[in-house]
Amino acid sequence: MNSAVPTDLDRPLVASGAPPMAQTTEGLHAVLSIPGVYTFVETAMGALAARKAIIRQYVRPRWGDRILDIGCGPGDIVRFLRPGVEYVGFDEGPAYIRNARRRYGRRAEFHCARVRDTTLDEQESFDIVLAFGVLHHLDDPEAQDLFRLAFKALRPGGRLFTLDGCYIPGQSPIARWLLDKDRGKSVRTRDAYLRLAEDVFRNVSAIVRLDIFWVPYTALILECRR
């Protein structure tokens, strides 16, 4: 984001093998590196509720599923998972990972690292990969790397879910303004996100939601099945 309004799903990114894009990390964004402040802002905007809705309405993990969360932040998604789901979160923010381990360490596994091919070689395959609020921080080659990493991490039939801000025709002026001011420099149209996903995955669904946040916001959910 480039404004004082925390409009995106703001956290240090765990990109694929390439470095993350340059972002605004001064002022309010520096404060958002504090896990408690980040969770408060996420809750106030409805971003946390949006993640909960996606988990319950679309992901619907089953007992025994293994989940990889790329850019897990302070691990708040764990609270929305049923017992019996195995969760592994990666994030480059040390404060976030310390906070996640303190609160959810008995239920989940957290790594302060960037997800790479070599990282996946050390893990078993996953049924579900999550990358919420990540793609709009990555340029096209970096985004394609993330899709490839997710594909590699998934078992046959496994699913990748992403959540990002999205430009659409006839968009609310407030929603467009929030996206224009987003910290991520690669907010795209629905079709642009879709093209990147379809370069790697053959089975991709794109869902635009205008009602999933508590502020006027246009969110795109991608479900990519291996």
203, 225 in Cβ contact below 8 A?
A: yes
* Rounded distance between C-alpha atoms, residue 28 and residue 167, angstroms: 24
Strands 109-112 and 86-91: parallel
Q: How far is CA 219 from CA 116, 182, 226, in A?
A: 27, 13, 23
Tokens 């078992």, located at residue: 155
Domains by residue range for the chain, with CATH: 28-225 (3.40.50.150)
DSSP code of 211?
Answer: S
Show Cβ contacts of residue 191 under 8 Å, excluding neighbours closer than 6 positions. none
Give bridge partners of residue 160 from the DSSP assignment: 129, 224
Q: Return per-residue pLDDT of the chain as tens, 226 residues.
A: 233 233 333 333 333 333 344 344 444 444 444 444 445 445 545 578 888 999 999 999 999 999 999 999 899 999 999 999 999 999 988 988 999 999 999 999 999 988 887 677 777 899 999 999 999 999 999 999 999 999 999 999 999 999 999 999 999 999 999 899 887 889 999 999 999 999 999 999 999 999 988 788 999 999 999 9
Q: Which DSSP helix (H) or strand (E) runs through 180?
A: helix 173-180
71, 131 in Cβ contact below 8 A?
A: yes
Show Cβ contacts of residue 138 under 8 Å, excluding neighbours closer than 6 positions. 13, 15, 16, 18, 20, 21, 145, 146, 186
φ, ψ (nearest 5 deg) of residue 171: -65, 145
pTM over 0.85: no
